Chain A
């Protein structure tokens, strides 16, 4: 994977840069493809198995493709007090099963831990930007491609 090679070049080949490289791969490919892990093995000397050990440890990195746009809905206590459960149900209804993008690969959603936005509960991130407080119609808008 040439592109992954470029990302490694601009970041660094030392082990300490692994998470940074994986963040960049995730942002472009919406998961960590096997071929990327192989390039990392060759260029950074981190075995494929080790890379996936890291990928599966961190919530922001995924083994399988997620949507090009990800909605993260917080389900911790302060957000729960402000109706996050209904929002999760709405996401399930309009965007489909958690973690799975539709056929066009545009959007997927996931539950997540406290986002540090509890003062704006119920909180979410969409495309890694705060969407808080999150309203039901925001979710419908995302489903229609308007958000």
Chain B
């Protein structure tokens, strides 16, 4: 089994986690370089690196930044999405706990590159420790004067940490904006996209924690730094949250293109796994015949699955996957914001049918109904929650037809 060098997580477990130690190990060089080369060149390096968003949608980060950088409105925001609520996902927490300053340096570079007038860090309400750590690290940066010279009008940059209220949907970018604004976190139809009308209807860059954590190295060492790892179409490394029936559940950093089987081996996956759920509740089940798949955007597309949030949940052969699906169904029924009928009603009906199947009391027509429901939810929902609420269930039905289930 190959050992992979930690890049994003290289300071994990470091004895000292303060600004001095961060600077001593090369930290803040990227911010200094960005300021020396200017916003346009900074965004160009990011675009050239091929970095894509790690929050699930894999959107090119440079394109997003460039739209906001060149926006007409002088008021712009950068939002760090620290809502991390996809079941099975904990890599953003581990990223921040391991290296809060690298994440904050990335955020400051983003603010500088798009001439942001303010920044927000939206931390899920259950991550109190993460919010405290960010607050404390931010204070150190501020006291050392590092929030100066970023804001275009010459004021010290204002970075506000906001706590979420305990709602998965607030990780969706437009719902997140509503939540910061003081409303229910109900997603809005897109377009307009956040880069045009985001937080407070102003041009906004919203990025995932892991996306932003990649920024300092790219700026400090150039676009090639990211491209020296991973594959042509998926440059860099990726954090995976591995949980379930593995001996060492944890966050693992591997280069894109690493086989899923290798990741499972690193985590001590039981020898006789029945399946894994890739990408969290909104993901798909993958069975051993596909464990050789390459963990890259092109590799998962080839096998009709997804990297999603980087969650990998492993199941042994004793697990009844219909019971797992019931849990996923319950999650979506609880977390639907309720504004689209197909999603609000659909997730509830779906959960009821999954509960029936999990209890082994199916009447025989549930699978057909689930399939029709999944079509309606996918086609008629405003946001990704409703659009993906049936994805895992559909993949489970396919696997059942192919005779892959142990139960």
- B residues lining the A interface (CB < 8 Å): 84-90, 92-93, 124-129, 162-168, 179-185, 241, 243-245, 249-251, 277, 281, 313, 315, 319, 323-324, 327-328, 330-331, 334-335, 337
Which residues from chain B contact A121 at a C-beta distance below 8 Å? 243, 249
Q: Are A116 and B331 in contact (CB under 8 A)?
A: no
Q: Are B327 and A80 in contact (CB under 8 A)?
A: yes
- A residues lining the B interface (CB < 8 Å): 14-20, 22-23, 46, 53-54, 57-61, 72, 75-78, 80-81, 112-121, 125, 128-130
Q: Are A81 and B319 in contact (CB under 8 A)?
A: yes
Could you tell me the distance in whole angstroms from the C-beta of A98 to the nearest C-beta in chain B? Answer: 14
Which residues from chain B contact A72 at a C-beta distance below 8 Å? 126
4 nearest CB pairs, A to B: A58-B165, A59-B166, A18-B182, A60-B166
Which residues from chain B contact A18 at a C-beta distance below 8 Å? 182-183
Known: A15-B181, A75-B327. A115 touches B126 (CB 8 A): yes
Which residues from chain B contact A120 at a C-beta distance below 8 Å? 249
Q: Are B87 and A113 in contact (CB under 8 A)?
A: yes
Q: Are A59 and B244 in contact (CB under 8 A)?
A: no
Could you tell me the distance in whole angstroms from the C-beta of B120 to the nearest C-beta in chain A? Answer: 10
Residue among B88, B167, B324 having the largest count of chain A Cβ atoms under 10 Å:
B88
Which residues from chain B contact A77 at a C-beta distance below 8 Å? 87-88, 244, 277, 281, 313, 324, 327-328
Q: Which of A19, A53, A81, A113 contacts B334 (CB 8 A)?
A: A113
Which residues from chain A contact B251 at a C-beta distance below 8 Å? 119
Q: Are B166 and A78 in contact (CB under 8 A)?
A: no
Q: Are B125 and A60 in contact (CB under 8 A)?
A: yes
Closest to A53 in B: B184
Which residues from chain A contact B328 at a C-beta distance below 8 Å? 77
Q: Are B182 and A23 in contact (CB under 8 A)?
A: no
Could you tell me the distance in whole angstroms from the C-beta of A48 to the nearest C-beta in chain B? Answer: 15
Q: Are A114 and B89 in contact (CB under 8 A)?
A: yes
Which residues from chain B contact A81 at a C-beta distance below 8 Å? 244-245, 313, 315, 319
Q: Which of B179, B184, B241, B319 contacts A118 (CB 8 A)?
A: B241
Q: Are A78 and B88 in contact (CB under 8 A)?
A: yes
CA distance A125 to B58 in the complex (A): 32
Extra contacts, 9 of them, besides A78-B244, A128-B128 (Cβ < 8 A), are A15-B181, A15-B183, A57-B337, A58-B167, A59-B165, A61-B165, A78-B313, A118-B87, A119-B250
Binding site secondary structure of chain B: mixed
CA distance A15 to B178 in the complex (A): 11
Q: Are A119 and B243 in contact (CB under 8 A)?
A: yes
Which residues from chain A contact B185 at a C-beta distance below 8 Å? 57-58
Could you tell me the distance in whole angstroms from the C-beta of B316 to the nearest C-beta in chain A? Answer: 9
Which residues from chain B contact A16 at a C-beta distance below 8 Å? 180-182
CA distance A95 to B251 in the complex (A): 34
Q: Which of B90, B180, B244, B331 contacts A117 (CB 8 A)?
A: B90
Known: A16-B181, A77-B88, A114-B86. A23 touches B327 (CB 8 A): no
Could you tell me the distance in whole angstroms from the C-beta of A4 to the nearest C-beta in chain B? Answer: 16
Closest to A76 in B: B87
Pairs A–B under 8 Å by Cβ, sample size 13: A16-B180, A17-B182, A23-B165, A58-B166, A61-B166, A78-B243, A78-B249, A81-B319, A114-B87, A116-B90, A118-B241, A118-B313, A129-B129
Which residues from chain A contact B168 at a C-beta distance below 8 Å? 113
Q: Are B93 and A116 in contact (CB under 8 A)?
A: yes
Q: Are B249 and A19 in contact (CB under 8 A)?
A: no
Which residues from chain B contact A54 at a C-beta distance below 8 Å? 165, 182-184
Q: Are A119 and B241 in contact (CB under 8 A)?
A: yes
Residue among B127, B181, B182, B330 having the largest count of chain A Cβ atoms under 10 Å:
B182
Which residues from chain B contact A20 at a C-beta distance below 8 Å? 162-163
Which residues from chain A contact B277 at a C-beta distance below 8 Å? 77
Which residues from chain A contact B331 at a C-beta distance below 8 Å? 76, 113-114
Q: Are A116 and B163 in contact (CB under 8 A)?
A: no
Could you tell me the distance in whole angstroms from the C-beta of B245 to the nearest C-beta in chain A? Answer: 6
Which residues from chain A contact B128 at a C-beta distance below 8 Å? 128-129
CA distance A46 to B181 in the complex (A): 12
Closest to A51 in B: B182
CA distance A45 to B334 in the complex (A): 30
Closest to B180 in A: A16
Which residues from chain A contact B90 at a C-beta distance below 8 Å? 116-119
Q: Are B126 and A128 in contact (CB under 8 A)?
A: yes
Closest to A120 in B: B249
Known: A77-B324, A113-B87, A118-B243. A57 touches B315 (CB 8 A): no
Residue among A17, A46, A59 having the largest count of chain B Cβ atoms under 10 Å:
A59
